[in-house]
Chain A
Amino acid sequence: MNIIINGIQYEVEKGITILEACRKAGIDIPTLCHDDRLEPSSSCRMCLVEIEGSKKLVTSCSTLVKENMVVYTHSARVMEARKEVLDLLVSNHPMECLTCAKSGKCKLQDYCYEYGITEASYKGARRKPKIDTSNPFYDYDASKCILCGLCIRVCDELQGTSAIGFENRGFDVVVTTPFNEGLVNSKCVSCGNCVSVCPVGALTPKKQTYRHWETKKVRTTCSYCGVGCQMDLVVKENRVVGVEPANVVPNDGLLCVKGKFAYKFINHPDRLKTPLIKRNGKFEEASWDEAYRYIRRKVNEIKEENGPDAFAGLTSARCTNEENYLFQKLFRAVIGTNNVDHCARL
């Protein structure tokens, strides 16, 4: 099927949306409520485009391509309409970019920059702040919420928990839990998948201690369960300060509470920092060389006296493949026994 976008002809698959066609063609369309994994909701209206022969602008996220369709993604009319959307949002948004944790990674901020919105033109009543801090891992600040609905749809359609929904009408709409009982008392399982998709600073991890531009991200595999979710560790000054889900197999952008929030053990003060040797029933700090020599002496003594089958090792389902390989090699090739097992049965 052929369509023309901004004067250039493209061949596209049948049945895809204009948004998908544009993205495949490398044309950037702004969106606030869109997520490829979800049903389109066409609510934010940032993705509006102009179609030749159609009076009204259409939402590209929910309009399918048609043969010989002629699309304009950045015409004057489109730009005006998007500015209007942003203006309305900003008019009801506290301009706290200087202190907001989301700054630098906020879609509203980015689009305002791109579309040149410096100030709200609608001045008047703003929504009152309603903050839910009951969850131990993240907060919801209604005054910053742009009502894109992503959090609700992710919790429902992908996470399958359906803990949250919109409440009230018109001006006072907020995201909340049934009966307003607070997130911590709801069905919420603290997976943080809503936090990860919020495009603005309405849902944020508690006590975030970094600004986004100070951090780097390192792609890795979750170290908890066997699902093997892919995630990015957020690193600031040699400390892990956050975790973001990666939108790839096997987890497609989802994590659970352990992967998303249970990372603070990494830089915990109780981490073991030096080898320890027990002397007279008490552990004393030792150097690596001392520890290795001590083990070597014992290995030699016991091997001499009792042979290799008096040795046994428990390797670890928590360690890497490379480490497990070396551990069994240590026992088999260096010590000389097959007494090596791990907790596969637990």
Chain B
Amino acid sequence: MTNSIGEIVNTDAMFVIGSNTTENHPVIATKMKQAVRRGAKLIVADPRRIELADYADVYLQLKPGTNIALLNSMMNVILEKGLYDKKFIEEKCENFEELVKVVKEYTPERAAEICGVKAEDIIKAATIYGEAEKAGIYYTMGITQHTTGTNGVMSVSNLALLCGNVGKESAGVNPLRGQNNVQGACDMGGLPGDLPGYQKVFKPEVIEKFEKAWNTKLSSKVGLTIPEIMDGAADGSIKFLYIMGENPMVSDPDINHVKHALENVDFLVVQDIFMTETAEFADVILPAASFAEKDGTFSNTERRVQRVRKAIDPVGESKPDWKIIMELMNYLGYSKKYLHPSDIMDEIASVTPSYAGISYDRLEDGGIQWPCLDKDHSGTKYLHKGNIARGKGLFMPSDYAESAETPDREYPYLLTTGRILYHYHTRTMTGKVDGINKLAPSSYVEINEETANRLGISDGDRVRIASRRGEIETTAKITEIIDDGVLFMPFHFADGAANYLTNPARDPIAKISELKVAAVKIEKVC
């Protein structure tokens, strides 16, 4: 997030797109509803009539995969009505002419056709966003999990720049990060092309810096992303795979392919707190301690580095992950020892400019939002204040393109996937809680009533769903919140797992898979 969670209550308008905030970021959604009570306007765009839609001034039930057409059209209206921030664009942005050229083609009427919404609603949404003094955009995987995900993100940023909503309190471009520490895992260099602090592995000066700090030789070749790693394991070029705290056998697209990869890889190490669908394939399983059994820090979606504190001793012989990795490094001949995670944080601060001022003694009374450049820096509530980080805000317009797979004769329905409130990711943790299983016991598919009637499916029926990649059985849930022809499945459940069906086709830049759109067929199980 460019801005902070606490700023939401004071915003004038919110545009929530591709985020079912009430279920995926519940406490952020409470702030949004509080803002509505204080008079803020709310625009919601989502293929499902999610709970936030009940609070919205405009709700756009767009077809999955059409975000860019909608965003371009909103910009079209904003330009047409003169609601853009001329001064901000003149002083702080580049490539405006190009944007004008591209979005000119996206009249509300044309976008309405593509997105399956009303033109007047697009105009209304654009007017609300354009007229607001401070407006924030909030999005998640509904924007990113497409073959056009990167362009979707750019389009969101174009809209924010167009109205001068960057570098301003209670505004901004706010991707809500899903997992507790996905922000931190990225910050710490858990990416194939990035060392900690997004320092690029292909830059010689970066490699030189880290070789010195770590006293070793480093590779400057950009590594493989997860889908490429899975491909490598499947084709035999990856021989050794080490998976810490992940469960791709449920969470990754095209599970049949993942299964083949895990079966094929020579040596698989899995480190987790429970036996998982993925760990079943391991050669060695290392038992890790849970968050309650260790010290450390998580970085939340607003870049706030917060303490995790040890409350109880590790269960059984399990060990905190940091200890396991350190001991393994020691076994492999790298002799550095850390007595406590705070020592690791000190090392992080010494090589990561955005974390340079962070140390455990400063985190005692609440977290610090990075960038935190030195010991006296109090952290950063919102980014790009005064000036945009890269110098100028760059408009990166793009055209709408269809999803990789669209419904056809053989696979006539569009399947989209996501999370629900009660479960977390692959249920490794929430699946162990009785009350949760009572409220959300098993896999299901949401089907519009008309679709169901045509297919002779009733609520609670068992149905078989197939895509080009796999087939599963699950239970039908008839609902009004989804459009005719569109199906929704939560991906949490290993039994009746949605990811047997999903499309691994990737965005060429971010390498993210198109988990939000797959063509499927569905029939009642007799």
A→B interface (CB under 8 Å): 136-137, 157-160, 189-191, 206, 218-230, 233, 235, 238-240, 248-251, 254-259, 261-268, 270-278, 283, 286, 288, 291-296, 298-299, 302, 306, 308-346
Name the 10 nearest CB pairs between A and B, nearest first: A273-B316, A228-B300, A320-B296, A338-B223, A160-B33, A316-B245, A256-B26, A136-B435, A272-B287, A226-B177
Which A residues are in CB contact (< 8 Å) with B196? 325, 328
CA distance A49 to B190 in the complex (A): 58
CA distance A229 to B344 in the complex (A): 23
Q: Convert B157-191 into 0s and 1s, putting 1 for each residue whose CB lies closer than 8 angstroms to a CB of A.
A: 00000000000000000001111111111111111
**How far in angstroms is the closest Cβ of chain B from A269?**
9
B297 near A322 with CB under 8 A, answer yes
Which B residues are in CB contact (< 8 Å) with A254? 27, 30
Interface residue tally on B, bucketed by range: 35 or more
CA distance A111 to B183 in the complex (A): 45
B304 near A226 with CB under 8 A, answer no
B233 interfacial by beta-carbon distance below 8 Å: yes
Q: When the two chains form the complex, which single residue of A158, A220, A322 contacts B291, counting CB atoms closer than 8 Å?
A: A220
Q: Known A-B contacts: A160-B34, A275-B317, A306-B239. Give 20 more (CB < 8 A).
A: A159-B30, A219-B307, A220-B292, A223-B298, A224-B429, A225-B26, A226-B180, A228-B306, A266-B312, A296-B332, A298-B240, A312-B240, A314-B229, A316-B181, A317-B179, A319-B181, A321-B299, A322-B322, A329-B329, A338-B222
When C-beta atoms are compared, the residue in chain B nearest to A314 turns out to be: B243
Which B residues are in CB contact (< 8 Å) with A346? 141, 178, 251-252, 425, 515
B232 near A312 with CB under 8 A, answer yes
**Interface hit among B113-121, B269-277, B442-450, B458-466:** B269-277
A233 near B292 with CB under 8 A, answer yes
Which A residues are in CB contact (< 8 Å) with B193? 338
B325 near A327 with CB under 8 A, answer yes
When C-beta atoms are compared, the residue in chain A nearest to B213 turns out to be: A333
Which B residues are in CB contact (< 8 Å) with A219? 307, 309
CA distance A233 to B195 in the complex (A): 33
Using known A-B contacts A273-B287, A316-B244, A339-B224, determine if residue A344 contacts B299 with beta carbons closer than 8 Å.
Answer: no
Using known A-B contacts A226-B180, A271-B273, A295-B331, determine if residue A264 contacts B439 with beta carbons closer than 8 Å.
Answer: no
**How far in angstroms is the closest Cβ of chain B from A287?**
8
**How far in angstroms is the closest Cβ of chain B from A278?**
5
When C-beta atoms are compared, the residue in chain A nearest to B21 turns out to be: A227
Scoring B37, B210, B244 by chain A CB atoms within 10 A of each residue's CB, the highest score goes to B244
Q: Convert B335-364 into 0s and 1s, putting 1 for each residue whose CB lies closer than 8 angstroms to a CB of A.
A: 000100100110110000000000000000
A251 near B192 with CB under 8 A, answer no
Q: When the two chains form the complex, which single residue of B226, B422, B429, B511 contacts A314, counting CB atoms closer than 8 Å?
A: B226
CA distance A174 to B357 in the complex (A): 52
Using known A-B contacts A226-B300, A299-B332, determine if residue A157 contacts B430 with beta carbons closer than 8 Å.
Answer: no
A345 near B226 with CB under 8 A, answer yes
**How far in angstroms is the closest Cβ of chain A from B45?**
20
**How far in angstroms is the closest Cβ of chain B from A310?**
4
**How far in angstroms is the closest Cβ of chain B from A286?**
8
**How far in angstroms is the closest Cβ of chain A from B325?**
4
When C-beta atoms are compared, the residue in chain B nearest to A278 turns out to be: B283
Which B residues are in CB contact (< 8 Å) with A310? 237-240
Scoring B22, B233, B422 by chain A CB atoms within 10 A of each residue's CB, the highest score goes to B422
Interface SS of chain A: mixed
Which A residues are in CB contact (< 8 Å) with B239? 302, 306, 310-311
A225 near B179 with CB under 8 A, answer yes
For window 427-442 of B, CB contacts with A under 8 Å fall at 428-430, 432-436, 438-439
B294 interfacial by beta-carbon distance below 8 Å: yes
B40 interfacial by beta-carbon distance below 8 Å: no
CA distance A284 to B184 in the complex (A): 34
Which B residues are in CB contact (< 8 Å) with A257? 26, 421-422, 436, 439
Q: When the two chains form the complex, which single residue of A240, A255, A314, A324 contacts B27, counting CB atoms closer than 8 Å?
A: A255
Which A residues are in CB contact (< 8 Å) with B297? 221, 320-322
B267 interfacial by beta-carbon distance below 8 Å: yes
CA distance A343 to B301 in the complex (A): 15
Q: When the two chains form the complex, which single residue of B30, B293, B348, B512 contacts A322, counting CB atoms closer than 8 Å?
A: B348
A324 near B310 with CB under 8 A, answer no
A341 near B190 with CB under 8 A, answer yes
B74 interfacial by beta-carbon distance below 8 Å: no
CA distance A228 to B366 in the complex (A): 11
Which B residues are in CB contact (< 8 Å) with A224? 180, 424, 429
When C-beta atoms are compared, the residue in chain B nearest to A253 turns out to be: B27
Which B residues are in CB contact (< 8 Å) with A230? 306, 366
B145 interfacial by beta-carbon distance below 8 Å: yes
CA distance A39 to B33 in the complex (A): 16
CA distance A234 to B428 in the complex (A): 22
A334 near B177 with CB under 8 A, answer no
CA distance A251 to B5 in the complex (A): 8
Scoring A158, A229, A338 by chain B CB atoms within 10 A of each residue's CB, the highest score goes to A338
B328 interfacial by beta-carbon distance below 8 Å: yes
B455 interfacial by beta-carbon distance below 8 Å: no
A326 near B325 with CB under 8 A, answer yes
B226 near A158 with CB under 8 A, answer no
Q: When the two chains form the complex, which single residue of A288, A306, A316, A332 contacts B195, counting CB atoms closer than 8 Å?
A: A332
B513 near A345 with CB under 8 A, answer yes
B24 interfacial by beta-carbon distance below 8 Å: yes
B133 interfacial by beta-carbon distance below 8 Å: no
CA distance A346 to B258 in the complex (A): 14
Q: When the two chains form the complex, which single residue of B55, B181, B366 contacts A248, counting CB atoms closer than 8 Å?
A: B366
A137 near B435 with CB under 8 A, answer yes
A315 near B244 with CB under 8 A, answer yes
**How far in angstroms is the closest Cβ of chain B from A76?**
40
For window 508-522 of B, CB contacts with A under 8 Å fall at 510-513, 515
Which A residues are in CB contact (< 8 Å) with B327? 288, 292
**How far in angstroms is the closest Cβ of chain B from A228?**
3
CA distance A225 to B179 in the complex (A): 5
Which B residues are in CB contact (< 8 Å) with A157? 34, 37
CA distance A110 to B274 in the complex (A): 42
**How far in angstroms is the closest Cβ of chain B from A210?**
14
A229 near B432 with CB under 8 A, answer no
CA distance A56 to B252 in the complex (A): 67
Q: Can you give 10 A-B contacts (C-beta < 8 A)?
A: A136-B436, A189-B26, A235-B311, A257-B439, A309-B221, A312-B241, A320-B321, A326-B325, A332-B214, A335-B332
Using known A-B contacts A239-B312, A248-B366, A319-B244, determine if residue A262 contacts B433 with beta carbons closer than 8 Å.
Answer: yes
Scoring B26, B296, B322, B515 by chain A CB atoms within 10 A of each residue's CB, the highest score goes to B26
Using known A-B contacts A158-B34, A225-B180, A332-B219, determine if residue A278 contacts B282 with beta carbons closer than 8 Å.
Answer: yes
